[in-house]
Structure 1
Amino acid sequence: MTTTQERSDLLDQLGLNTQNKATIGRLLGTGNIGHATEEPDGRMRATIRINPDELAWDPAILVMPHGGDIELELVNDDLNTHCALLPSNGDRKFIWLVNHSRGRATLNLDGPGYYWFSSPTGNDEGRGLTGAIVVLGDAPPEARLDRPEQPRP
């Protein structure tokens, strides 16, 4: 389990607690931060769980080192039924997760940025389960806006 200081240091290291980025740290900073593992073929993998009685994803923030394909294993260890509404280029993915079940989803997140995922079924204490996949990297030159250079951390 990550301590509050370790979580704060990691948010700082990833640049998620600076101006215009603080929202992700505030909304999801109470959950764990995980990293996708990269296979030799470039495909990434990660596992995201719903632990019993926590009403939260674990990890709440998943970090990918770069854009590409990722295979997620979703595990519902809770006594309640949940679902996963996941981002993917071209089409969102939906997986129904009855209690004590698991599912797999292959996503394509080809650009840097924040991609939100959730379990929008039921109320889940007022907001549903909310998480984010953070894809590190910079936008390719052809996708950049024509504007002055912006400060970088």
Structure 2
Amino acid sequence: MTSIQERADLLNKIGLDAQNKASLGAVLGTGNIGQAVEGPDGRLQATVRINPDELTWDPSIVVMPHEGDLELELINDDRNTHCALLPSNGDRKFIWLVNHSRGRATLNLDGPGYYWFSSPTGNDEGRGLTGAIVVLGDAPPEARLDRPPQPRP
């Protein structure tokens, strides 16, 4: 677990705490924040876990430093069955996670933005398990809105 100050420092470091950075990632704002690690093959890797009786992903926000492929390992340590509905360009991925199981998905997220993932089965206390993958970076010129320049830090 991270302290409140460590979490605030990490939010600031990766840009989830200010306007015109990755501010939408702060909307989720619950649970831990993890960073994807780049492997020698250039693929990013991250692990997300469901801890016993917590009904949340850990971390609930995964930050990718750039677009690309993400190897995501999902671990269900809970005594209940869950699933993972994951974003990926071209098609969503679905993994069934019975209690005390794990799964692996390869996701392709080819642009900066906020990609939501969830476990919509069983209603999980009314909202399901909800998480976000935040891909840092700027939108390509052809995708930018025609508006005055915005302040950047």
TM bucket by the smaller chain? over 0.9
SS in 1 for 2:126: coil
Question: Are 1:67 and 2:56 matched, yes or no?
Answer: no
CA shift, 1:22, in A, is 4.9
Q: Is the 8 A contact 2:84 2:119 kept in 1?
A: yes
Q: How does 1:18-37 map to 2 (within 5 A)?
A: 18-19=18-19, 22=23, 24-27=25-28, 29-37=29-37
Q: How does 1:1-153 map to 2 (within 5 A)?
A: 1-19=1-19, 22=23, 24-27=25-28, 29-153=29-153
In structure 1, stretches of 5+ residues that fail to align are none
CA deviations on 1:36-90 (whole Å, 9 max, x unpaired) are 1101221111111001111110111101110000111100000000000000011
Between the two proteins, the alignment pairs up a number of residues equal to 152
Structure 1 segments, 4+ long, off by >6 Å, are none
Percent sequence identity over aligned pairs: 82
Q: State the one-letter code of the partner of 2:120.
A: P
CA shift, 1:25, in A, is 2.3
Instruction: Provide the TM-score with structure 2 as the length reference.
Output: 0.92
SS in 1 for 2:12: helix
Provide the alpha-carbon RMSD of the alignment: 1.5
Between the aligned partners of 1:22 and 1:41, the Cα distance in structure 2 is: 30
Between the aligned partners of 1:6 and 1:79, the Cα distance in structure 2 is: 30
